[in-house]
Amino acid sequence: MRKISSAALFAITILFFASCQKSIDDTNATPPDDSTGSQTPSADDLVKDTVLLICQDVYLWNTQIPANFDARSYASPVEEMEAIRQYSHETGFADPVDRFSFAVKQDEWDNVSTGVAEDFGMSVFFNTPTDLRVKYAEVASPSGMAGIKRGWQILKINGNSQIDTNAATINRIVDAVFYSESTRFTFKKPDGSATELTLHAGTYQTHPIFADSVYAVNGKQVGYLALNSFLGDTTAIYTEFSRIFSGFQSKNVSEMIVDLRYNGGGYVSMAEKLANYLAPVASNNQVMYTETFNANYTDFNTTALYKKLGSLNIDKIYFIVSDNTASASELLINALSPFVEEKLVGPAYNTYGKPVGFFPIPVGDWYTFPISFKTVNKNGYGNYFDGFTIDHPTWDGLDKDWGDTEENCLHSVLTYIQTGVFGYANNGNGNISNAAVSRNVRAINKKIQSRTVFTGAVAKEKLLRR
């Protein structure tokens, strides 16, 4: 085994004591020189020092971090990790490519990663500047238990009917939907009727599989799977995968539609599991992807092989995506591309662009997530920091529920399978296309997405298992 650097040794010492529930002040490790002149650095300063040492060792672009980087000048590991991102230059890209490295308190991450949430379980997006819709409602959440569905229009919030994209209105909406203990909503259902519901925040287990269906199109059986995340209770999700794909297999599904339009990623292992169900039989034992680390950790470079699950033999997959489709979702698309014909459908913007990943490294009561590995597919491709290009731009059908054949993205794919030409659904707005959605609406929706959805590809703590 190669020698671990002194910086890493210091970091691992800190990590060991953190994992034993001890304070960083309890360690005997010698801290770095104290630039403030203090003989006894604070626990917060030691945490920030350790975060820097970890990045200098495991960060994918660790050699670009300057020697004079002042970890203690930042308020917390959150700001420190954001500052580290600027040292991530890649050939062919003018700007730093890291938009992802971050830090978070351990208790917050533990809830996010296991899919435990405490809110209404409802997310929203603007359909037009004055038309706010339910983007989704988690089935086990207060909103899901109340019967709220994707596509319902929100007419009033706490009796206020002002719904628009002005900054003050947006702040009021975000606070009421995502950060309130109780909020009263007036909804307009698809049948035109209005209903008023008061939601109370509650704890629930998220369930990222939003829908699965099979459609008969031109004599073909076409499977549909909507997956909102690669995080959550993996045991329950894998059981669902087995049930869903057994159903697809029994109905002789030959083509798939995989809806990842809001999927910001999550566990690489879950993306692998889904890839093994989706890949054709001929992929078995062939390269799924290769994962590479920096020069300090080349012994952790690994190649994942396909281990085909089930007997479904898909040769064409339609991915419904958006600029919110990120990381583990993009890894899935990239890994399958050498083996199946793919078409990407969705709003006219590239996918997020994250061919890299990280794993949680504990420091005190924080987890730090420096980008630590990059993935490439069987053909060696993985430089999609600008995201994947959409094959057919089309409007996001926020006015319809998951799996509704008149939802615009799904309708477009089904029309293509039937006619060879992508189409638009009749959405009551003159078949508006994505071009009709203003930049303002898109920008607002991206802010809403960024405040409520995790984006990343997460591996296990490999470097701690040396």
Digit-coded pLDDT (tens) for 333-390: 999 999 999 999 998 789 999 999 988 999 999 999 999 999 999 999 999 999 999 9
Q: Are 78 and 44 in contact (CB under 8 A)?
A: no
Domain termination residue (choose one: 59, 88, 113): 113
Q: Clarify whether residues 90 and 122 are in a common domain.
A: no
3-state class (DSSP) for residue 311: coil
Dihedral, 72, 74, 75, 76 alpha carbons, nearest 10: -80
Residue 20, domain extent:
6-113
The per-residue pLDDT for 14 is: 35
How far, in Å, are 145, 179, 426 from residue 226 at the CA level?
20, 26, 21
pTM of the predicted model as reported, rounded to 2 decimal places: 0.84
Q: Are 127 and 398 in contact (CB under 8 A)?
A: yes
Decide if pLDDT at 269 tops 60: yes
Domain contains 367: no
In degrees and rounded to multiples of 5, residue 205 shows phi and psi of: -95, 125
The per-residue pLDDT for 113 is: 66
Residue 310: name the closest of 247, 399, 263, 264 by CA: 247
Domain contains 361: no
Q: Clarify whether residues 52 and 138 are in a common domain.
A: no
Domain contains 16: yes
The per-residue pLDDT for 266 is: 86
Cα–Cα distance between 31 and 317 in angstroms, integer?
53
Percent of the chain with pLDDT over 70: 83
Percent of the chain with pLDDT over 90: 74
The per-residue pLDDT for 110 is: 80
Domain contains 457: no
Domain contains 191: yes
At 301, the amino acid letter reads: N
Residue 410: name the closest of 270, 126, 217 by CA: 217
CA angle 261, 264, 268 (to 5 degrees): 120
Q: Clarify whether residues 99 and 129 are in a common domain.
A: no
Query: Among 184-188, 398-402, 456-460, which stretch is predicted with the lowest mean pLDDT?
Result: 456-460
* Gyration radius of the chain over CA positions: 23
Decide if pLDDT at 438 tops 70: no
Q: Is the dihedral of CA 29, 30, 32, 38 positive or negative?
A: positive
CA-based end-to-end distance of the chain = 9
Domain termination residue (choose one: 78, 113, 148): 113
Q: Are strands 356-357 and 341-346 parallel, antiparallel or unpaired?
A: unpaired
Q: Clarify whether residues 72 and 201 are in a common domain.
A: no
Q: Clarify whether residues 201 and 217 are in a common domain.
A: no
How far, in Å, are 46, 275, 298, 307 from residue 363 at the CA level?
9, 33, 24, 35
Cα–Cα distance between 367 and 359 in angstroms, integer?
9
Q: Clarify whether residues 137 and 99 are in a common domain.
A: no
The tokens 């360690």 sit on which residue?
A: 27
Domain contains 177: yes
The per-residue pLDDT for 319 is: 98
Q: Clarify whether residues 304 and 407 are in a common domain.
A: yes
Instruction: Locate the DSSP E strands across 353-439.
Output: 356-357, 361-363, 366-369, 373-376, 392-393
- Of 464 and 98, more confident: 98
What is the domain-level CATH number for residue 171? 2.30.42.10
Domain contains 458: no
pLDDT, mean of residues 186-197:
97
Distant-in-sequence, close-in-space partners of 353: CB < 8 Å, separation ≥ 6 = 326, 330, 384, 385, 386, 387
Residue 358: name the closest of 368, 346, 345, 343 by CA: 368
Q: Is the dihedral of CA 12, 16, 21, 24 positive or negative?
A: negative
Q: Clarify whether residues 306 and 414 are in a common domain.
A: yes
- Of 320 and 15, more confident: 320
Q: How confident is the model at residue 453 (pLDDT cuts 50, 70, 90)?
A: low
The per-residue pLDDT for 144 is: 97
What is the domain-level CATH number for residue 239? 3.90.226.10
- The total of structural domains in the chain comes to 3
Residue 318: name the closest of 418, 207, 401 by CA: 418
Cα–Cα distance between 115 and 333 in angstroms, integer?
23
Q: Clarify whether residues 135 and 195 are in a common domain.
A: yes
pLDDT, mean of residues 110-119:
72
Q: Clarify whether residues 277 and 342 are in a common domain.
A: yes
Q: Clarify whether residues 308 and 335 are in a common domain.
A: yes
Decide if pLDDT at 466 tops 60: no
Query: Among 277-281, 379-383, 432-436, which stretch is predicted with the lowest mean pLDDT?
Result: 432-436
- Of 466 and 122, more confident: 122
Residue 349: name the closest of 321, 319, 368 by CA: 321
The per-residue pLDDT for 207 is: 93
Q: How confident is the model at residue 40 (pLDDT cuts 50, 70, 90)?
A: confident
pLDDT, mean of residues 290-296:
96
Decide if pLDDT at 45 tops 80: yes
Helix (H) or strand (E) holding 9: helix 6-19
Domain contains 438: no
What stretches of 43-86 show up as alpha helix (H) in DSSP? 43-58, 77-84
Domain termination residue (choose one: 89, 113, 137): 113
pLDDT, mean of residues 251-256:
97
Decide if pLDDT at 434 tops 60: no
The per-residue pLDDT for 423 is: 81
The per-residue pLDDT for 463 is: 43
pLDDT, mean of residues 32-56:
82
Q: Clarify whether residues 103 and 177 are in a common domain.
A: no
Decide if pLDDT at 120 tops 90: yes
Q: How confident is the model at residue 443 (pLDDT cuts 50, 70, 90)?
A: confident
Q: What six digits make up the tokens of 67? A: 């020697």
Cα–Cα distance between 47 and 6 in angstroms, integer?
17
Decide if pLDDT at 412 tops 90: yes
Cα–Cα distance between 195 and 255 in angstroms, integer?
39
